Structure 1
């Protein structure tokens, strides 16, 4: 009788458990500078994720349901870490009490996926705002990246992950090579 109760309990608990939501790896890659632009100039870094929703992809399979997919990693922290690494490779030193501040605002970061058994379409968009502020003033720059990709068969999570990470890496590269931002930081950071 005890074994029957145990089996019934396990079956009941198994039926009540909900499946885990789909997630993808978000791994932005910092762009490393070959040469230091400055030496001894510090900055503090802050960030905020101001997106209306925290998922990184929306999958529409055409069956009247759209499924959100979230990142395994915290998007804000992953992007902040990549940006800090980029600036450090350019010679800037990260400090908590610097008079110079860089703020990263994540306004948009999403891949829309429409797929069927035969084909898929992925449209990605990333909008990041970087504000470099000193006691003398500030520079605000908006970086936007878009991506469109089509393929045969339905899109897998690894396909979505690849599109998202490639797109974010392109935006990080644009930030790294932005002469106006580099010159502002070189000339005004202490």
Structure 2
């Protein structure tokens, strides 16, 4: 009897390992690297918050009330904070843990919505990031948004969704890198 239980336990364990995994998206946007520094070694403390209501990064609607949420392979907030830190470093800022000047990234939205029909798909990607730059006396708040749409004659793959989300995140990071109001505030107050 013990041998039978052991064998059945191994079979169940092996079948669980070979069960299909839920798809996940790799979120890895590249920062905008500045060829010329815009700051002279000004220090800034960077932090971030994820304020999204749901933690998935994609929703696939196959019709007939079949909606599948898809998670990210990594923490999107951490990935974006890291990208922003590398972007700031390339601009000449020195990112530190504590300092007079603080820059907070609030992730408000990062979602790919896919609707499949029999022969095509529609994909809508939304990104919204809020930056809060502040010192003890002054504060600068601005939202950066992006939206893209695409259609295809086949089903949308995980790679299609990754490209759509990462491309839009990179476009928003580029907007942040080129925002003269933000750069002026940081250079005058940090």
> Normalised by the size of structure 2, how large is the TM-score?
0.93
Conservation of the 8 A alpha-carbon contact between 1:43 and 1:94: yes
Correspondence for 2:64? 63
Equivalent residue pairs, number: 189
**Residues of 1 paired with 2:133 and 2:35: CA distance?**
22
Quick one: structure 1 residues 143 and 116, their matched pair in 2 at CA, closer, same or farther if it must change by over 3 Å? same
Conservation of the 8 A alpha-carbon contact between 1:136 and 1:188: no
Correspondence for 2:154? 153
1:105-120 paired onto structure 2 within 5 Å: 105-120=106-121
CA deviations on 1:121-159 (whole Å, 9 max, x unpaired) are 000100100011012301001000001010111111111
1:81-160 paired onto structure 2 within 5 Å: 81-160=82-161
Post-superposition offset of 1:28: 1.2
Correspondence for 2:184? 183
Correspondence for 1:8? 8
CA deviations on 1:149-184 (whole Å, 9 max, x unpaired) are 101111111111111111111101111111110111
Correspondence for 1:42? 43
Correspondence for 2:52? 51
**Residues of 1 paired with 2:15 and 2:82: CA distance?**
40
**Residues of 1 paired with 2:114 and 2:164: CA distance?**
11
Of stretches 59-68 and 4-13 in structure 1, the one that deviates more from structure 2 is: 4-13
